[in-house]
Amino acid sequence: MSPQVILLFSGKRKSGKDYLTDHLQQRLKNECGVIKISAPIKSYWAKENNLNLNELLSHNEYKEQYRLEMIRWSDSIRAQDYGYFCRQACHDALDKPTWIVSDIRRKTDICWFKETYKDLVKTIRIVADEETRKSRGFQYKDGIDNVASECDLDDYGDWDLVINNGEGKPTLQKQMESIMELCKNNK
Ligand SMILES: Nc1ncnc2c1ncn2[C@@H]1O[C@H](COP(=O)(O)OP(=O)(O)O)[C@@H](O)[C@H]1O
Ligand SMILES: C[C@@](O)(CCOP(=O)(O)OP(=O)(O)O)CC(=O)O
């Protein structure tokens, strides 16, 4: 079965990408599959450096020790082929009508998905103010928070949906409904 809608989620560290996409997955159950562009990066890095892949994939602090190096290495691959990790992440194409891509970071990620899947693609930006992100554990790091990995989409202006997940955010129910509404147009 080919997908009917592909939801691309983006947002800064601790904006709530995993939180909201996990909830969406619980809601859609078997109807959806989750794709993480960081998965093939982490898998390669774990193998090369003999690291614990499950820890690297988890929400724990463990991955933070390796984030800077993974960004640098993955950017060197992207410089040759910007779709490399997007393609790898979609490789075992999910047999589900809705795909949730939980970690879009660069304009080239959006470009690759739109070139490949055309108008199946919907882009969603999760925003949260810095105070809220700090209360969730965000700490600014030079080389991470001021490079493409975190900033390339700051000036992207063509989101299909922007969700506030910070101060004054709507209820989770409302956040989910706005996503479902976006999907409806593709089904
Ligand atoms: N709307 C929310 N309500 C309660 N906790 C939240 C909410 N959004 C995010 N969090 C919590 O904030 C932390 C960071 O969220 P996470 O989804 O991991 O961010 P990101 O994936 O964008 O780095 C997690 O502990 C998560 O459970
Ligand atoms: C090297 C990375 O892929 C690591 C991303 O790991 P996660 O996607 O787990 O990070 P957060 O959800 O923001 O905490 C970043 C990149 O620029 O590709």
Phi, psi of 168, deg, nearest 5: 75, 15
Cα–Cα distance for residue pair 79/64, rounded to 1 Å: 23
Q: Domain residues of the chain, as ranges?
A: 5-184
Residue 37 CA to chain centroid, in angstroms?
A: 7
Check if the interface score ipTM surpasses 0.85: yes
**CA 187 to centroid of ligand 2, rounded, Å:** 30
Cβ-in-10-Å burial (0-12, 13-18, 19+) of 11 comes to: buried
Using pLDDT thresholds of 50, 70 and 90, give the confidence band for residue 187.
low
Which ligand 2 atom is nearest residue 37's CA?
3
Sequence length of the chain is: 187
- The two three-digit tokens of residue 165, written as one number: 């997940």
**CA 19 to centroid of ligand 1, rounded, Å:** 5
The per-residue pLDDT for range 147-186, each reduced to its tens digit, is 999 999 999 999 999 999 999 999 999 999 999 999 987 7
Q: In this structure, which residue's CA is closest to atom 3 in ligand 2?
A: 38
- The two three-digit tokens of residue 93, written as one number: 């194409």
**5-184, which class in CATH?**
alpha beta
Phi, psi of 113, deg, nearest 5: -65, -40
Residues 102 and 9: beta-carbon distance below 8 Å: yes
